[in-house]
Amino acid sequence: MKKFLVIALIIVIVVAAILIRSAVRRPGGEPEAVAATIKAVEVLKASRGEIRSELQLSGTIEANSRVTVFPEVAGKIIQMDVDEGERVTKGQTLAVIEHAELKLQVRQAEAALRAAKTAFDQAKQLAEVRVRSQIDQAKAQLSSATVALRQVEDLSETRTTSQVEQARAGLESLKANLEKIKRGARDEDLRQAEAAVAGAKASHTNAKNNYNRMEELFENGAISEQSFESAKTQLDVAKSQYEVASEQRALILNGAREEDIQAMEAQVAQAEAALKLAYAQADTKTWEKDRELAQSQVEAARAALAAAEALAAAKSWEAEIIAAETAVEQAKVALGLAQERFSEATITAPISGILSMRFLDLGGLAAPAAPIFEIVDMDSVKATVSVIEADLRKLDPENQEAQVEVDALTQPVIGKIALVSPVLDQASRSAKVEITIDNPTLSLKPGMFAKVRIPVEIRQDAILLPRSAILEDSIKQTQTVFVVLDGRSKRRQVETGLVDGSRVEITSGISETERVVIAGQHTLKDGEEVTVMNP
């Protein structure tokens, strides 16, 4: 507006000058011509000041961070502590999901840890003792197996031979008794019968004692089942012979009947069978099997002792202690996992900010795949803009401020460049730039339209002129101004630098305080007389 007023004033001055010139006449009544035309101009002294070059961009206000909260466990919400719009702090409880089963899992893990610790303490105290006791037990078993082997060696062959002799003697006695019964009893027969009863009783007692010893060896695994059954058979035979001898004595005393003779004959047949059995056992040499079995038990006991001594030499208890200690660590890890799972039933705020969304209410069913809250951090916000490739070199992410204007505020706010994207959008060939802004009053809200001005170059002591004072010759590619010296115009070629709106930096061609024509310069010629219309 001021520019137009100046131009109108110049036009008025020029018209007034023409009228004055036409009013002047020469002698004789003709108007007198003016020797020269004086042009009116307006000037401005070149001064120094600050000028800056800026990038003017458009963008959007965004929250500094926006977090969607998902539950880690599924279940019914039994506690809901916040509503939409409330401010929350990091770590604050937002909701609680039912967790009775998770609590039981924690208790189970705690019990398992206590058991592992107890086993570890026992291992430290008893592992070595247990290995030492295994050595003692192995020695005792070896000694027992050696004794059993000696018993088998002492008894087996002798026992078999005596069984044959015993069976032969019993058969002979029965035959003799049978003959005596058939002939009739005599005093001598009675004495022999008494002697036979005494001998059969002694044989029975001996067989019974032998059976008891063999039973003990069999229970200890020192003899085979066949040898044990043989001893049992011998006991049965001896018992039968004792009973037969007793019956024969009774027959001699009471006299024989036909049925008694038949019974005696049957007993003789039974004794013959027993003798054949004794011969068969002697031929099979079952004692050799008993010795082999007892010998194998000795070798097994010797190997067990060597193994126990090897464990002691290798300090195997240390491995047992390490294994018990490892079990404690595993139980601790399991407890930690159970506690972590239990804690996940309590949903807490991951950041401080405003609860912008609540997707579920009290009693709702939470699921890990569905969000339950959204929190935005608005204590500081960011203006996001796009900067073209050519202007990226002008930015300094380390220390560069920006001026941000939004329609909701009467004054611009100052932000700072926080991020320049390392990649460009292929479609627009521009990079995203984020400018952080403090927002203590929460007046800047996500989604607002923002005008951003980023100063890319600032000069503090530059010679400044209005852009309107510069005359540009597009053909010669030059820029000129007019200065006023001693009432006349003087054309100067200048070099320009930064441009800030209506101001421009002059880098060469004029000096400070020179008066530069800022109005009327378009009709001026170099060296013309001018009149300065402003002080």
pLDDT the model gives residue 314: 57
Given a contact cutoff of 8 angstroms between Cβ atoms, the answer to whether 312 and 250 are in contact is: no
pLDDT the model gives residue 158: 57
Given a contact cutoff of 8 angstroms between Cβ atoms, the answer to whether 503 and 465 are in contact is: yes
pLDDT the model gives residue 48: 87
- The tokens for 28 are 């004789």
- The tokens for 80 are 């809901």
Torsion, CA 477, CA 483, CA 485, CA 488, rounded to 10: 80
DSSP reduced 3-state for 308:
helix
pLDDT exceeds cutoff 90 at 523: no
CA-derived radius of gyration, the chain: 63
Which secondary structure element, helix H or strand E, spans residue 51, and what is its range? strand 47-69
* Dihedral over Cα of 235, 236, 241, 243: its sign: positive
pLDDT the model gives residue 190: 67
DSSP reduced 3-state for 499:
strand
pLDDT the model gives residue 474: 82
For 67-109, give the secondary structure using H, E and C: EEECCCCCEEEEEECCCCCCEECCCCEEEEECCHHHHHHHHHH
Q: What is the mean pLDDT of residues 37-66?
A: 86
At residue 33 the predicted structure's pLDDT band, cuts being 50, 70 and 90, is: very low
For 190-221, the pLDDT digits (tens) are 677 777 778 778 877 887 887 787 777 777 77
d(CA 13, CA 32): 20
Average pLDDT, the chain: 79
pLDDT exceeds cutoff 90 at 96: yes
At residue 104 the predicted structure's pLDDT band, cuts being 50, 70 and 90, is: very high
Most confident residue range from 237-246, 314-323, 351-360:
351-360
For 476-511, the pLDDT digits (tens) are 888 999 999 988 999 999 988 888 778 888 888 888
pLDDT the model gives residue 260: 62
Per cent of the chain over pLDDT 90 is: 18
Given a contact cutoff of 8 angstroms between Cβ atoms, the answer to whether 83 and 355 are in contact is: yes
DSSP reduced 3-state for 468:
helix
pTM above 0.85, yes or no: no
For 332-370, the pLDDT digits (tens) are 999 999 989 888 889 999 998 889 889 989 999 999 889
pLDDT the model gives residue 316: 61
For 369-416, the pLDDT digits (tens) are 899 999 998 888 999 999 998 888 888 777 788 889 999 888 999 999
Strands 471-473 and 413-420: unpaired
For 443-484, the pLDDT digits (tens) are 898 899 999 988 877 788 888 888 888 898 888 888 999 999
d(CA 299, CA 340): 56
- The tokens for 498 are 């930064």
pLDDT the model gives residue 386: 92
C-alpha distances (whole Å) from 349 to each of 91, 183, 517 are 5, 120, 66
pLDDT the model gives residue 374: 92
d(CA 282, CA 134): 40
pLDDT exceeds cutoff 70 at 14: no
pLDDT the model gives residue 45: 87
pLDDT exceeds cutoff 60 at 321: yes
Torsion, CA 293, CA 295, CA 301, CA 305, rounded to 10: -160
| Closest-CA residue to 478 (of 490, 497, 494, 465) | 494
pLDDT the model gives residue 28: 44
